[in-house]
Chain A
């Protein structure tokens, strides 16, 4: 019992990973109707990864970023550019032709090589996040001020990506790409898909482990201290802005990796992944799952997306918007800890109260 209480998060996470790992096997055994479920779960893995990153800065450090879609999309674009060049054998793409570009632009050139691409997937979002973090946190811009700036940043980046359509293919985004492991369409290429799926799962486990490691150390305690009393942490002699910048950059890097995973399963990337609405959707996953617990972010990302996947078809699209809006609002108002908070704190407290109520009349009867 004690073990369950202490290791509850990790046990829960292992269960999720085991279920996910079984999915391809079930597909092979013919228990799933098509490969679309596996592809969808692959996307969910990417969402869970970005949710972990978001939870590190919001749940633990109290920095609410309304622009994590930007970092997600930056990682995604890096991956998609590599995959597109694989398709065209390093030649310029058709949308560049239309945009009037003759030779491969300089920004596209590094993406001919996979190792360089992998480095850039982490480096590009990190660099942007570092610049933002450095200028914002050093000057102690905090709270909602930071949230609003991050929102505006995403807003500006979105329109820049659309305006640079010869380089980014504007609204359409980069489409018609295969994955890192080759085509995953059709039954013949199932092995490729499984490799991709298990590699993504491994990334999720690694990111989870990293996040768990960080927050269980003194570093994690410090993040919580910054969240709960930033000025006091300053007075205790810690350079809060450096810590904030570091965790923000780390979170952006994680988002970039998640974006790269996402592109492989989605088969395209569009600027709509870097809108404000998309970014706040990520915050919704973390909030409903349970902020301040790594497992909460994972649960939230999977749960919300599974619900959306099953509900938002046909006439349910309208109702889904109402549901998610209401659930989100109620979660913030009454269940600060999200699902994890309910299970961990509110439910035991409720049961305890029920027991007490029963116990009191019993005592009175005994008298």
Chain B
């Protein structure tokens, strides 16, 4: 029983990281019909920015306030990836509207460059981020230990999710975004600046990947390939959950995250990968477009 709860807990924590990376992917895919292969590299950048922030604090601040570096790192990582995402959208993605497959390849070129840049700047060896001291340890309830940093990650993701929900469904901008997603031409006719909506949405998605990078930094060492290890799962979550609905992404990532942790726990990480793949393939037999689809009568989307 205790083991089950522990596995469940780890599953939720992995799911939440996958969720944070796949929200951006799913929204941009639903909105602009582009797939961003460099999304994993935004996660990597976020993780490295946490490291950078830590180094800055170690160098310039007294010992007593050093622990709050992490709270500075989160907005910093978000800001950096937000700006990079905005630049990427402006110069690359915006030329690739509707060319799904081309967008995937062009952004792969970008991800090659970003990975190499990370290797040039930070070296090929992985770097470690020391978790702030208040995140060490955990609480024990009835024999189950919940480590603080995983709890913190789950909390952070929940907060981000809430903010995204607020933006998407309660703000004026979100209304515009959903309008563009459902019918771009009509939205443009109504005076919505769809270029601006695209750019901001893409940047927010990238920024969320940056925050995901912050949480990944707590869990292990960071190197230039850290993004790759999460991104395949995130892609699967997007395929499973369908595009354009927040709920689809949440359910998709929960299924992928828990499935891989559970099978990993009872068998091995190899089998886990195969089983996750199998789940997605079987699932796509039933619903080729994913769980949630925005209904449309047009033929060629």
Contact = CB atoms under 8 A, between A and B. Distances in A.
A333 to B, nearest CB: 6
A56 B288 CA distance: 24
Contact of A163 (B96, B116, B268, B280): B268
Contacts of A230: 300
Interface string A125-158: 0000000000110011101110111011101100
A328 B108 contact: yes
Nearest to B34: A144
B288 A140 contact: yes
Nearest to A142: B288
A64 B106 CA distance: 13
Contacts of A152: 232, 235-236, 273, 276-277, 280
Nearest to A336: B102
A159 interface: yes
Contacts of B300: 229-231
B269 interface: yes
A148 B239 contact: yes
A311 interface: no
Residue from A62, A135, A156, A276 having most chain B Cβ neighbours under 10 A: A156
A101 interface: no
Contact of B288 (A62, A139, A163): A139
Contacts, number: 117
A17 B108 CA distance: 32
Interface residues of A, number: 42
Interface in B212-247: 228, 232, 235-236, 238-239
Contacts of B168: none
Interface stretch (A74-82, A302-310, A319-327): A319-327
A155 to B, nearest CB: 5
A149 B273 contact: no
Nearest to A152: B277
Interface string B100-120: 111011111111110111011
A151 B281 contact: no
Dominant secondary structure of chain B at its interface with chain A: helix
Contacts of A159: 269-270, 273-274
A7 B120 CA distance: 46
Contacts of B109: 324-330, 332
Q: Give the size range of B's interface with the partner.
A: 35 or more
Contacts of A336: 102
Interface string B263-298: 000001110011011001100110010000000000
B189 interface: no
Contacts of A135: 281, 285
Nearest to B111: A325
A325 B116 contact: yes
Interface in B104-151: 104-113, 115-117, 119-120
B65 interface: no
Contacts of B268: 163
A141 B104 CA distance: 17
A242 B167 CA distance: 44
Residue from B35, B104, B228, B277 having most chain A Cβ neighbours under 10 A: B104
B59 interface: no
Contacts of A140: 288
A191 to B, nearest CB: 41
Across the A-B interface, the 6 shortest Cβ-Cβ residue pairs: A329-B109, A325-B112, A321-B116, A328-B109, A325-B113, A163-B270
28 contacts: A62-B101, A135-B281, A136-B281, A136-B284, A139-B284, A140-B288, A141-B284, A143-B101, A144-B104, A145-B288, A147-B101, A148-B35, A152-B235, A155-B232, A159-B274, A163-B268, A229-B300, A321-B113, A324-B112, A325-B109, A325-B113, A326-B109, A328-B108, A329-B106, A329-B107, A329-B109, A332-B105, A333-B106
Interface of A: 62, 64, 135-136, 139-141, 143-145, 147-149, 151-153, 155-156, 159-160, 162-163, 229-231, 276, 280, 283, 287, 318, 321-322, 324-330, 332-333, 336
